[in-house]
Protein backbone atom coordinates (compact mmCIF):
# COMPACT_ATOMS: atom_id res chain seq x y z
CA UNK A 1 0.00 0.00 0.00
CA UNK A 2 1.20 3.53 -0.77
CA UNK A 3 2.07 5.79 2.11
CA UNK A 4 -0.86 7.97 3.16
CA UNK A 5 -0.32 11.70 2.86
CA UNK A 6 -2.74 14.05 4.57
CA UNK A 7 -2.94 17.27 6.60
CA UNK A 8 -3.02 17.33 10.38
CA UNK A 9 -5.60 20.06 11.03
CA UNK A 10 -6.08 18.78 14.55
CA UNK A 11 -2.69 20.17 15.58
CA UNK A 12 -4.24 23.61 15.84
CA UNK A 13 -7.13 22.30 17.92
CA UNK A 14 -5.12 20.37 20.52
CA UNK A 15 -5.34 22.79 23.48
CA UNK A 16 -7.63 25.66 24.49
CA UNK A 17 -4.60 27.96 24.25
CA UNK A 18 -3.81 27.01 20.67
CA UNK A 19 -7.46 27.16 19.67
CA UNK A 20 -7.62 30.69 21.00
CA UNK A 21 -4.48 31.68 19.07
CA UNK A 22 -6.02 30.70 15.76
CA UNK A 23 -9.56 31.86 16.45
CA UNK A 24 -10.64 34.03 13.54
CA UNK A 25 -13.77 35.66 14.93
CA UNK A 26 -14.16 37.05 18.43
CA UNK A 27 -17.41 38.44 19.75
CA UNK A 28 -16.99 41.58 21.84
CA UNK A 29 -19.39 43.52 24.00
CA UNK A 30 -18.76 46.56 21.81
CA UNK A 31 -20.41 44.65 18.96
CA UNK A 32 -23.76 44.47 20.73
CA UNK A 33 -26.86 46.67 20.73
CA UNK A 34 -29.67 46.05 23.23
CA UNK A 35 -33.32 46.67 22.26
CA UNK A 36 -35.69 48.14 24.85
CA UNK A 37 -39.49 48.56 24.80
CA UNK A 38 -40.78 51.61 26.61
CA UNK A 39 -44.44 52.25 27.29
CA UNK A 40 -46.61 54.94 28.78
CA UNK A 41 -48.01 54.66 32.28
CA UNK A 42 -46.42 54.17 35.68
CA UNK A 43 -44.85 51.29 37.53
CA UNK A 44 -45.10 48.86 34.64
CA UNK A 45 -42.64 46.09 34.01
CA UNK A 46 -44.32 43.44 31.86
CA UNK A 47 -42.50 40.37 30.71
CA UNK A 48 -43.34 39.71 27.05
CA UNK A 49 -44.93 36.22 27.09
CA UNK A 50 -43.28 35.04 23.88
CA UNK A 51 -39.94 36.58 24.90
CA UNK A 52 -39.05 35.43 28.43
CA UNK A 53 -36.54 37.82 30.01
CA UNK A 54 -37.61 40.75 27.80
CA UNK A 55 -39.70 43.48 29.42
CA UNK A 56 -41.85 46.40 28.42
CA UNK A 57 -41.10 49.10 30.96
CA UNK A 58 -42.59 52.44 31.88
CA UNK A 59 -40.23 55.39 32.25
CA UNK A 60 -39.92 54.94 36.02
CA UNK A 61 -38.38 51.49 35.42
CA UNK A 62 -36.21 52.57 32.52
CA UNK A 63 -33.37 53.65 34.80
CA UNK A 64 -33.01 50.16 36.30
CA UNK A 65 -32.86 48.60 32.86
CA UNK A 66 -30.24 51.11 31.73
CA UNK A 67 -28.21 50.49 34.91
CA UNK A 68 -28.29 46.80 34.09
CA UNK A 69 -27.18 47.58 30.55
CA UNK A 70 -24.42 49.96 31.55
CA UNK A 71 -22.95 47.61 34.12
CA UNK A 72 -22.98 44.77 31.58
CA UNK A 73 -20.60 46.76 29.39
CA UNK A 74 -22.90 46.77 26.35
CA UNK A 75 -22.49 50.29 24.97
CA UNK A 76 -25.65 50.87 22.93
CA UNK A 77 -29.42 50.68 23.16
CA UNK A 78 -32.12 50.85 20.47
CA UNK A 79 -35.38 52.28 21.76
CA UNK A 80 -38.87 51.16 20.71
CA UNK A 81 -41.88 53.11 21.96
CA UNK A 82 -45.35 51.79 22.68
CA UNK A 83 -47.72 54.77 22.77
CA UNK A 84 -51.02 54.78 24.63
CA UNK A 85 -52.78 56.59 21.82
CA UNK A 86 -52.62 55.42 18.21
CA UNK A 87 -54.20 57.13 15.22
CA UNK A 88 -54.30 57.04 11.44
CA UNK A 89 -51.19 59.14 10.93
CA UNK A 90 -49.17 57.86 13.87
CA UNK A 91 -48.91 61.35 15.37
CA UNK A 92 -47.36 60.07 18.59
CA UNK A 93 -44.32 58.96 16.59
CA UNK A 94 -43.22 62.57 16.15
CA UNK A 95 -44.78 64.22 19.21
CA UNK A 96 -42.35 66.21 21.33
CA UNK A 97 -43.77 64.51 24.41
CA UNK A 98 -44.07 61.13 22.70
CA UNK A 99 -42.97 58.08 24.65
CA UNK A 100 -39.79 57.53 22.64
CA UNK A 101 -38.82 61.19 22.80
CA UNK A 102 -39.24 61.12 26.58
CA UNK A 103 -37.33 57.87 26.90
CA UNK A 104 -34.44 59.15 24.80
CA UNK A 105 -34.21 62.39 26.80
CA UNK A 106 -34.26 60.44 30.04
CA UNK A 107 -31.54 57.97 29.01
CA UNK A 108 -29.27 60.73 27.72
CA UNK A 109 -29.72 62.54 31.03
CA UNK A 110 -29.16 59.60 33.36
CA UNK A 111 -26.75 57.53 31.22
CA UNK A 112 -24.97 59.97 28.90
CA UNK A 113 -22.32 57.42 27.95
CA UNK A 114 -24.77 54.97 26.41
CA UNK A 115 -25.21 55.36 22.67
CA UNK A 116 -28.92 55.80 22.06
CA UNK A 117 -30.36 54.61 18.76
CA UNK A 118 -33.93 55.52 17.82
CA UNK A 119 -35.97 53.09 15.75
CA UNK A 120 -37.82 55.31 13.28
CA UNK A 121 -41.07 53.76 12.12
CA UNK A 122 -44.80 54.39 12.26
CA UNK A 123 -46.18 50.89 12.83
CA UNK A 124 -46.31 51.09 16.64
CA UNK A 125 -48.05 54.47 16.36
CA UNK A 126 -50.67 53.94 13.65
CA UNK A 127 -54.05 52.44 14.51
CA UNK A 128 -53.81 50.22 11.43
CA UNK A 129 -50.34 48.98 12.40
CA UNK A 130 -48.69 49.66 9.03
CA UNK A 131 -45.34 51.40 8.66
CA UNK A 132 -46.72 54.15 6.39
CA UNK A 133 -49.82 56.18 5.64
CA UNK A 134 -52.87 54.52 4.10
CA UNK A 135 -54.77 56.05 1.20
CA UNK A 136 -57.54 54.09 -0.52
CA UNK A 137 -56.46 50.88 1.15
CA UNK A 138 -52.80 51.02 0.09
CA UNK A 139 -49.69 52.09 1.95
CA UNK A 140 -48.55 55.19 0.10
CA UNK A 141 -44.87 55.86 -0.23
CA UNK A 142 -44.12 59.53 -0.63
CA UNK A 143 -46.62 60.95 1.86
CA UNK A 144 -45.24 58.56 4.44
CA UNK A 145 -41.74 59.97 3.94
CA UNK A 146 -42.73 63.35 5.37
CA UNK A 147 -43.98 61.81 8.59
CA UNK A 148 -40.97 59.53 8.89
CA UNK A 149 -38.69 62.52 8.44
CA UNK A 150 -40.58 64.44 11.12
CA UNK A 151 -40.23 61.43 13.39
CA UNK A 152 -36.47 61.22 12.82
CA UNK A 153 -35.98 64.93 13.47
CA UNK A 154 -38.04 64.77 16.67
CA UNK A 155 -35.90 61.87 17.87
CA UNK A 156 -32.73 63.82 17.12
CA UNK A 157 -34.25 66.80 18.98
CA UNK A 158 -34.73 64.50 21.96
CA UNK A 159 -31.03 63.62 21.87
CA UNK A 160 -30.80 60.38 19.89
CA UNK A 161 -27.22 59.63 18.84
CA UNK A 162 -28.22 57.55 15.80
CA UNK A 163 -31.42 57.37 13.74
CA UNK A 164 -32.49 53.90 12.57
CA UNK A 165 -35.36 54.03 10.06
CA UNK A 166 -37.05 50.64 9.69
CA UNK A 167 -40.12 51.36 7.61
CA UNK A 168 -38.96 50.19 4.15
CA UNK A 169 -40.62 52.97 2.16
CA UNK A 170 -38.56 53.81 -0.94
CA UNK A 171 -36.36 56.83 -0.44
CA UNK A 172 -36.61 56.87 3.34
CA UNK A 173 -32.88 57.15 3.81
CA UNK A 174 -32.60 60.09 1.40
CA UNK A 175 -35.61 61.85 2.94
CA UNK A 176 -34.42 61.38 6.51
CA UNK A 177 -30.84 62.39 5.69
CA UNK A 178 -32.12 65.58 4.06
CA UNK A 179 -34.48 66.30 6.96
CA UNK A 180 -31.75 65.80 9.55
CA UNK A 181 -29.34 68.01 7.61
CA UNK A 182 -31.91 70.78 7.23
CA UNK A 183 -32.60 70.65 10.95
CA UNK A 184 -28.90 71.06 11.65
CA UNK A 185 -28.19 67.41 12.47
CA UNK A 186 -25.54 66.86 9.83
CA UNK A 187 -23.51 64.89 12.38
CA UNK A 188 -26.22 62.41 13.34
CA UNK A 189 -25.69 59.10 11.52
CA UNK A 190 -28.42 57.08 9.85
CA UNK A 191 -28.41 53.35 10.57
CA UNK A 192 -30.73 52.23 7.85
CA UNK A 193 -32.75 49.01 7.91
CA UNK A 194 -31.63 48.61 4.32
CA UNK A 195 -32.40 44.97 3.87
CA UNK A 196 -35.49 44.04 5.79
CA UNK A 197 -37.37 40.93 4.80
CA UNK A 198 -41.11 40.32 5.30
CA UNK A 199 -40.35 37.67 7.89
CA UNK A 200 -42.41 35.39 10.10
CA UNK A 201 -39.62 35.74 12.66
CA UNK A 202 -41.00 39.14 13.78
CA UNK A 203 -44.05 37.57 15.48
CA UNK A 204 -42.98 37.98 19.12
CA UNK A 205 -41.82 41.58 18.50
CA UNK A 206 -45.30 42.49 17.29
CA UNK A 207 -46.70 41.16 20.59
CA UNK A 208 -44.12 43.18 22.47
CA UNK A 209 -44.62 46.39 20.49
CA UNK A 210 -48.35 45.97 19.77
CA UNK A 211 -47.61 46.56 16.10
CA UNK A 212 -49.31 43.81 14.10
CA UNK A 213 -50.98 45.17 10.99
CA UNK A 214 -54.78 45.21 11.44
CA UNK A 215 -55.26 44.18 7.81
CA UNK A 216 -53.05 42.65 5.16
CA UNK A 217 -49.35 42.17 5.68
CA UNK A 218 -46.07 44.01 5.07
CA UNK A 219 -45.20 42.25 1.82
CA UNK A 220 -45.62 45.33 -0.40
CA UNK A 221 -42.84 47.15 1.42
CA UNK A 222 -40.68 44.58 3.20
CA UNK A 223 -38.62 42.27 0.99
CA UNK A 224 -39.50 38.85 -0.33
CA UNK A 225 -37.37 36.29 1.57
CA UNK A 226 -36.14 34.36 -1.50
CA UNK A 227 -34.33 37.39 -2.99
CA UNK A 228 -30.62 38.13 -2.66
CA UNK A 229 -29.96 40.39 -5.66
CA UNK A 230 -32.79 42.62 -4.52
CA UNK A 231 -31.02 42.84 -1.16
CA UNK A 232 -27.91 44.11 -2.92
CA UNK A 233 -29.98 46.70 -4.80
CA UNK A 234 -31.58 47.88 -1.56
CA UNK A 235 -28.19 48.14 0.13
CA UNK A 236 -26.64 49.99 -2.84
CA UNK A 237 -29.44 52.54 -2.98
CA UNK A 238 -29.18 53.20 0.74
CA UNK A 239 -25.46 53.79 0.42
CA UNK A 240 -26.17 56.30 -2.35
CA UNK A 241 -28.86 57.93 -0.26
CA UNK A 242 -26.44 58.50 2.60
CA UNK A 243 -26.81 55.62 5.04
CA UNK A 244 -23.92 55.35 7.50
CA UNK A 245 -24.71 51.80 8.67
CA UNK A 246 -26.65 49.06 6.85
CA UNK A 247 -28.91 46.69 8.77
CA UNK A 248 -29.77 43.21 7.52
CA UNK A 249 -32.81 41.73 9.19
CA UNK A 250 -33.53 39.01 10.28
CA UNK A 251 -30.04 37.65 10.89
CA UNK A 252 -30.00 33.91 11.27
CA UNK A 253 -31.75 32.76 8.10
CA UNK A 254 -30.05 35.55 6.14
CA UNK A 255 -26.36 35.15 6.95
CA UNK A 256 -25.64 34.70 3.25
CA UNK A 257 -27.13 38.16 2.68
CA UNK A 258 -25.08 39.61 5.56
CA UNK A 259 -21.94 38.29 3.88
CA UNK A 260 -22.87 39.64 0.47
CA UNK A 261 -23.80 43.08 1.75
CA UNK A 262 -20.53 43.16 3.68
CA UNK A 263 -18.53 42.23 0.61
CA UNK A 264 -20.34 44.70 -1.64
CA UNK A 265 -20.12 47.82 0.52
CA UNK A 266 -17.60 49.57 2.73
CA UNK A 267 -20.20 50.50 5.35
CA UNK A 268 -20.53 48.95 8.80
CA UNK A 269 -23.08 46.13 8.61
CA UNK A 270 -25.51 45.41 11.42
CA UNK A 271 -27.28 42.06 11.80
CA UNK A 272 -30.62 42.18 13.60
CA UNK A 273 -31.07 39.00 15.64
CA UNK A 274 -34.86 39.25 15.76
CA UNK A 275 -37.54 38.31 18.25
CA UNK A 276 -38.48 34.96 16.70
CA UNK A 277 -34.86 33.87 16.77
CA UNK A 278 -34.75 34.78 20.45
CA UNK A 279 -38.02 33.00 21.23
CA UNK A 280 -36.93 29.75 19.59
CA UNK A 281 -33.78 29.53 21.66
CA UNK A 282 -35.61 30.45 24.86
CA UNK A 283 -38.27 27.81 24.26
CA UNK A 284 -35.80 25.07 23.47
CA UNK A 285 -33.59 26.00 26.42
CA UNK A 286 -36.56 26.07 28.80
CA UNK A 287 -37.29 22.50 27.77
CA UNK A 288 -33.70 21.50 28.39
CA UNK A 289 -33.25 20.64 24.72
CA UNK A 290 -30.27 22.91 24.07
CA UNK A 291 -27.62 24.67 26.13
CA UNK A 292 -28.71 28.31 25.98
CA UNK A 293 -25.32 29.90 26.58
CA UNK A 294 -23.49 27.70 24.08
CA UNK A 295 -26.14 28.15 21.41
CA UNK A 296 -26.39 31.93 21.86
CA UNK A 297 -22.63 32.44 21.73
CA UNK A 298 -22.29 30.19 18.68
CA UNK A 299 -25.10 31.99 16.94
CA UNK A 300 -23.89 35.54 17.68
CA UNK A 301 -20.36 34.56 16.65
CA UNK A 302 -21.70 33.14 13.39
CA UNK A 303 -23.27 36.53 12.63
CA UNK A 304 -19.90 38.19 13.06
CA UNK A 305 -18.23 35.51 10.98
CA UNK A 306 -20.76 36.22 8.24
CA UNK A 307 -19.57 39.83 8.20
CA UNK A 308 -21.69 41.69 10.74
CA UNK A 309 -19.80 44.46 12.51
CA UNK A 310 -22.60 44.95 15.00
CA UNK A 311 -25.50 42.83 16.26
CA UNK A 312 -28.82 43.98 17.65
CA UNK A 313 -29.87 41.26 20.07
CA UNK A 314 -32.22 40.70 23.01
CA UNK A 315 -29.43 38.47 24.37
CA UNK A 316 -26.98 41.41 24.61
CA UNK A 317 -26.80 41.61 28.41
CA UNK A 318 -26.56 37.81 28.86
CA UNK A 319 -23.96 37.59 26.12
CA UNK A 320 -21.88 40.31 27.82
CA UNK A 321 -21.84 38.26 31.03
CA UNK A 322 -20.82 35.14 29.10
CA UNK A 323 -18.05 37.09 27.34
CA UNK A 324 -16.80 38.15 30.80
CA UNK A 325 -16.85 34.55 32.03
CA UNK A 326 -14.75 33.41 29.11
CA UNK A 327 -12.03 35.96 29.75
Q: Which residues bind ligand PBG (CB under 6 A)?
A: 119, 121, 123, 131, 166, 202, 205-206, 211, 274-275
CA atoms of 253 and 237, how far apart (whole Å): 23
CA atoms of 163 and 190, how far apart (whole Å): 5
- 196 catalytic? Reply is yes
With respect to ligand PBG, which residue has the nearer C-beta, 202 or 245?
A: 202
**Catalytic pick from 86, 102, 150, 249?**
249
Omega into 78 within 30° of 0, i.e. cis? no
Q: Least CB distance from residue 122 to ligand PBG, whole Å?
A: 8
Q: Least CB distance from residue 9 to ligand PBG, whole Å?
A: 38
**Catalytic pick from 86, 102, 196, 304?**
196
With respect to ligand PBG, which residue has the nearer C-beta, 63 or 206?
A: 206
With respect to ligand PBG, which residue has the nearer C-beta, 92 or 211?
A: 211
Contact 273, 300 (CB under 8 A): yes
With respect to ligand PBG, which residue has the nearer C-beta, 119 or 260?
A: 119
Q: Least CB distance from residue 240 to ligand PBG, whole Å?
A: 22
Q: Least CB distance from residue 68 to ligand PBG, whole Å?
A: 19
Q: Which residue is nearest to ligand PBG (CB)?
A: 205
Which residues are designated catalytic?
196, 249
Amino acid sequence: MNELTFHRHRRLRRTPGIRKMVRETVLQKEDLIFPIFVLEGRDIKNEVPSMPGVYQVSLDHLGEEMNRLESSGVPAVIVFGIPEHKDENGTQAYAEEGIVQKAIRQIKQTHPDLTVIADTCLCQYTDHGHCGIIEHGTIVNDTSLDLLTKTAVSQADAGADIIAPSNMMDGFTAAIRKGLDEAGYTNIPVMSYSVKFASAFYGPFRDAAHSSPSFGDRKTYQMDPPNRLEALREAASDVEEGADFLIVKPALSYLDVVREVKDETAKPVVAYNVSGEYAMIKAAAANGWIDEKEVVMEKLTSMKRAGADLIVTYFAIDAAAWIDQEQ
